[in-house]
């Protein structure tokens, strides 16, 4: 294990660095996507609740219009 091994091992450092960079970027993308999906679900649930509330208000108005 002379200078040849260290030279060859140091040649792997850029590949390892690129691999780590790729991993961090993909991790950030996945976390952002997960957060966006969660926010979209919450917004859709709020929208559907608001629609249901408006529909029930409309039916209340129609039933009390005697």
Where does the pLDDT of residue 18 fall: very low under 50, low under 70, confident under 90, or very high at 90 and above?
A: very high
More confident residue, 4 or 24: 24
Distance CA 59, CA 51 (A): 12
- The alpha carbon dihedral of 23, 28, 31, 37 has a sign of negative
CA dihedral for 18, 24, 28, 29, sign (positive or negative): positive
Name the CA radius of gyration of the chain, rounded: 29
Alpha carbons 30 and 18: distance in angstroms, whole number: 18
pLDDT at 31: 97
């Amino acid at each position: 294990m002379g200078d040849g091994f260290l030279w060859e091992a140091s040649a792997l450092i850029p590949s390892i660095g690129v691999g780590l960079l790729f991993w961090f970027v993909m991790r950030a993308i996945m976390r952002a996507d997960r957060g966006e999906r969660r926010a979209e679900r919450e917004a859709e649930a709020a929208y559907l609740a608001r629609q249901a509330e408006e529909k029930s208000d409309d039916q209340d108005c129609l039933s009390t219009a005697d």
